């Protein structure tokens, strides 16, 4: 039995295990409310599987075993749901948090009709069912991920509230970060990292909706889905308790919201080729992204995305040459020095005009350093046509490092820019052979639209199409500053600009 690469996952919270989970932290002393227990019971009803009709969602993740007293009752109530779902072509994955008895748990799941288990990784036990490994985003064992793997500990995307928390259901305000730009939470940097470190693997993200006494705005769900899909992975669709209760009651508002969420996911399935486009950027971030290096390197990627600084990723345990070819700069994050082969490659890169930014100097001996008046705490070592830039005292502040790296590369080398972005950001992908690019624009303050957006790209375009959910239209191209600009309509959640380069 193997994984289906076309699985579109959804968390189906139901049964005694879900009923025991508090719907709101602190409510009833941390116990589940009467309403949430009722909802968990309602969602065991196979009749609710009609919600999946004519949607992309074909794989349900259900709680299967926690190692507690509720496991037997949980597995019993799931049997009719699984049987009915299998008749409809729906696959089921059992979520397991139990630490013991995995062989028996797997055998029971296999007999019940599960097709896989979601287990805390790394998974070292051979079981009756294939395992999907679950890791914390901050502690991924990249050498032991499974064909499909899941990361948790992710943020609910959006513009942050003062103090770093966003209250569900309340109007968003966006405090400024150190850049004076609104502080935006996104998971969009995770998929490019995974695509580089474990190419060919499929990444799903667990992102729990924030607690809310009423249904979250549907735009928040659409944004969370778009944040994942635009970067090349999937969010495991997960609904808050008020929405699940409203869907069980067949309310028009919840039904309409659910249809919009499904339409958002279907849109990305229709444009799945975009996920295969290459990331673009003048800067390549190099690390092994493992163990002691993961905290700094992950935060560098995270903050580069926040600063809208296009970048690509290179795993230094893999061949570097194809990852840095044609780039202007390499940011070598790790304290570990390059291997002999990597050192030769990087010195050739510098001699040909490239720039390497590093925490330590490991270039040729006898090169005198100099400083720039506008760049503090760095030594610059000129080498033929290029330079090595070394941080005095190493890399200590990822935010400052990202800001300095972007300045060193130069904004004039940005592959694209958003003007008047507010809380908007973008993801750029390129298909060089087809001379196409796609720029996906996300508004992290949804449902409040962002207005007066102008997109600029660094090359001449012959045509462009504006895509939104359910709509497409030609977009006028304006030659500007050696590239092309586009005036965008108000963006509520998401749009994409598909661009054809001039010959």
What would the DSSP string read from start to end of 455-478?
EEESS-EEEEEEEETTEEEE---E
Structure confidence at residue 115 (pLDDT):
96
Q: Please give the average per-residue pLDDT across 79-100, as a whole number.
A: 96
Grade residue 33 by pLDDT with cuts at 50, 70 and 90.
low
Q: Please give the average per-residue pLDDT across 489-496, as a whole number.
A: 96
Q: Residue 435 sits in a domain of what CATH number?
A: 2.60.40.1180
Instruction: List, for residues 236-284, the tens digit of each pLDDT value.
Output: 999 999 999 999 999 999 999 999 999 999 999 999 999 999 888 999 9
Is 173 domain-assigned? no
The average confidence (pLDDT) of the chain is 90
Phi, psi of 436 (to 5 degrees): -125, 150
Q: Please give the average per-residue pLDDT across 305-334, as a whole number.
A: 93
Domain count, the chain: 3
The CA-atom distances, in angstroms, between 410 and each of 30, 204, 281, 328, 404 are: 51, 34, 12, 10, 10
Instruction: List, for residues 422-436, the tens digit of each pLDDT value.
Output: 899 999 999 887 789
Q: Are residues 344 and 449 in the same domain?
A: no
Is 482 domain-assigned? yes
Is 275 domain-assigned? no
Q: Are residues 359 and 440 in the same domain?
A: no
Q: Are residues 237 and 380 in the same domain?
A: no
Q: Residue 152 sits in a domain of what CATH number?
A: 3.20.20
Q: Which of 270, 302, 324 is the last residue of a domain?
A: 270
Is 168 domain-assigned? no
Structure confidence at residue 429 (pLDDT):
93
The CA-atom distances, in angstroms, between 220 and each of 240, 307, 311 are: 11, 22, 27
Count of CB atoms within 10 A of residue 299's CB? 18
Q: Are residues 392 and 442 in the same domain?
A: no
Q: Are residues 42 and 58 in the same domain?
A: yes
Q: Are strands 436-443 and 184-185 parallel, antiparallel or unpaired?
A: unpaired
Q: Is the pLDDT of residue 314 over 60?
A: yes
Is 461 domain-assigned? yes
Q: Which of 368, 389, 413 is the last residue of a domain?
A: 413
Environment class of 476 (CB within 10 Å of its CB; exposed 0-12, middle 13-18, buried 19+): exposed
Q: Are residues 228 and 83 in the same domain?
A: yes
Instruction: List, for residues 227-241, the tens digit of each pLDDT value.
Output: 999 999 999 999 999
Q: Residue 298 sits in a domain of what CATH number?
A: 3.40.50.880
Environment class of 298 (CB within 10 Å of its CB; exposed 0-12, middle 13-18, buried 19+): buried
Q: Is the pLDDT of residue 376 over 90?
A: no
Structure confidence at residue 342 (pLDDT):
96
Cα 232-233-238 angle, rounded to 5 deg? 140
Q: Are residues 208 and 324 in the same domain?
A: no
Structure confidence at residue 213 (pLDDT):
86
Whether the CB-CB separation of 19 and 41 falls below 8 Å is answered with: yes
Instruction: List, for residues 352-367, the tens digit of each pLDDT value.
Output: 999 999 999 999 998 9
Is 167 domain-assigned? no
Cα 256-223-464 angle, rounded to 5 deg? 100
Torsion angle (degrees, nearest 10) of CA 33, 39, 40, 41: 110
Q: Sign of dihedral through CA atoms 198, 414, 186, 443? A: negative
Structure confidence at residue 1 (pLDDT):
53
Is 392 domain-assigned? yes
What is the C-alpha to C-alpha distance for residues 282 and 415, in angstroms, rounded to an integer? 8
What is the SS3 assignment for 301? Answer: helix
Share of the chain above pLDDT 70, in %: 93
Instruction: List, for residues 93-149, the tens digit of each pLDDT value.
Output: 999 999 999 999 999 999 999 999 999 989 888 899 999 999 999 999 999 999 999
Which tokens in the block code for residue 482? 């050696």
The CA-atom distances, in angstroms, between 202 and each of 10, 189, 205, 276, 351 are: 15, 15, 10, 12, 38
What is the C-alpha to C-alpha distance for residues 298 and 415, in angstroms, rounded to an integer? 22
Q: Are residues 260 and 289 in the same domain?
A: no
Range of the domain at 254: 9-158+187-270
Taking the alpha carbons at both ends of the chain, their separation in whole angstroms is 47
Q: Are residues 399 and 423 in the same domain?
A: no
Instruction: List, for residues 419-473, the tens digit of each pLDDT value.
Output: 999 899 999 999 887 789 999 999 999 989 999 999 999 999 999 999 999 899 9
Structure confidence at residue 171 (pLDDT):
44
What is the C-alpha to C-alpha distance for residues 325 and 183, in angstroms, rounded to an integer? 33
Q: Are residues 390 and 450 in the same domain?
A: no
Q: Is the pLDDT of residue 78 over 70?
A: yes
Grade residue 503 by pLDDT with cuts at 50, 70 and 90.
confident
Structure confidence at residue 173 (pLDDT):
47
Cα 269-487-265 angle, rounded to 5 deg? 15
Q: Are residues 352 and 424 in the same domain?
A: no
Instruction: List, for residues 149-205, the tens digit of each pLDDT value.
Output: 999 999 999 987 444 444 333 444 445 545 456 789 999 999 999 999 999 999 999
Is 97 domain-assigned? yes
Whether the CB-CB separation of 358 and 394 falls below 8 Å is answered with: no
Q: Is the pLDDT of residue 54 over 70?
A: yes
Whether the CB-CB separation of 184 and 421 falls below 8 Å is answered with: no
Grade residue 26 by pLDDT with cuts at 50, 70 and 90.
very low
- Residues sharing a CB contact under 8 Å with residue 73, sequence separation 6 or more, in sequence order: 15, 16
Torsion angle (degrees, nearest 10) of CA 194, 359, 327, 317: -40
Q: Please give the average per-residue pLDDT across 310-333, as a whole number.
A: 94
Q: Are residues 396 and 297 in the same domain?
A: yes
Q: Which of 250, 270, 290 is the last residue of a domain?
A: 270
């Amino acid at each position: 039995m193997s994984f289906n690469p076309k699985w579109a996952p959804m968390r189906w919270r139901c049964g005694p295990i879900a009923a025991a989970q508090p719907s709101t932290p602190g409510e009833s002393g941390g116990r589940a409310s009467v309403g949430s227990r009722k909802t968990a019971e309602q969602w065991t009803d196979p009749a609710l599987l009609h919600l999946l009709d004519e949607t992309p969602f074909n794989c349900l993740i259900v709680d299967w075993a926690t190692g507690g007293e509720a496991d037997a009752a949980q597995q019993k109530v799931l049997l009719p749901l699984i049987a009915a779902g299998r008749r409809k072509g729906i696959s089921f994955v059992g979520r397991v948090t139990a630490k013991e008895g995995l062989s028996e748990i797997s055998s029971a799941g296999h007999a019940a009709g599960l097709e896989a288990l979601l287990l805390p990784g790394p998974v070292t036990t051979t079981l009756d069912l294939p395992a999907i490994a679950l890791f914390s985003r901050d502690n991924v064992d990249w050498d032991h991920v499974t064909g499909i793997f899941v990361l948790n500990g992710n943020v609910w995307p959006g513009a942050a509230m003062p103090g770093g928390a966003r209250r569900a259901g309340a109007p968003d305000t966006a405090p400024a970060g150190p850049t004076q730009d609104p502080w935006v939470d996104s998971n969009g940097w995770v998929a490019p990292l995974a695509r580089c470190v474990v190419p060919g693997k499929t990444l799903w993200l667990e992102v729990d909706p924030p607690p809310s006494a009423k249904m979250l705005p549907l735009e928040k769900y659409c944004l969370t889905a778009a944040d994942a899909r635009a970067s090349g992975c999937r969010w495991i669709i997960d609904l808050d308790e008020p929405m699940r209760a409203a869907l069980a009651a067949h309310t028009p508002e919840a039904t309409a919201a659910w249809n919009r969420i499904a339409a958002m996911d279907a849109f990305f399935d229709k444009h799945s080729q975009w996920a295969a486009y290459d990331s673009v950027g003048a800067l390549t971030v190099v690390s092994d992204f493992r163990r002691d290096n993961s905290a700094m390197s992950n935060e560098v990627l995270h903050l580069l995305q926040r600063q809208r600084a296009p970048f690509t990723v290179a795993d230094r345990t893999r061949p570097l040459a194809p990852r840095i070819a044609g780039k202007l700069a390499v940011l070598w994050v790790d304290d570990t020095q390059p291997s002999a082969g990597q050192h030769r490659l990087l010195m050739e890169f510098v001699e040909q005009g490239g720039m390497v930014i590093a925490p330590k100097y490991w270039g040729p001996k006898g090169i005198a350093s100099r400083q720039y008046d506008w760049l503090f705490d760095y030594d610059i070592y000129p080498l033929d046509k290029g330079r090595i830039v070394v941080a005095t005292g190493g890399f200590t502040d990822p935010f400052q490092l990202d800001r300095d790296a972007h300045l060193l590369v130069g904004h004039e080398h940005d592959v694209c820019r958003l003007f008047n972005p507010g809380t908007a950001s973008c993801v750029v992908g390129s298909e060089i052979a087809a001379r196409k690019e796609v720029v996906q624009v996300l508004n992290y303050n949804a449902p409040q639209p962002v207005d007066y957006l102008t997109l600029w790209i660094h090359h001449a375009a012959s045509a462009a199409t504006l895509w939104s959910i359910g709509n497409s239209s030609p977009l006028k191209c304006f030659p500007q500053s050696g590239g092309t600009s586009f005036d965008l309509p108000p963006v509520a959640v998401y749009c994409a600009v598909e661009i054809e380069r001039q010959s």
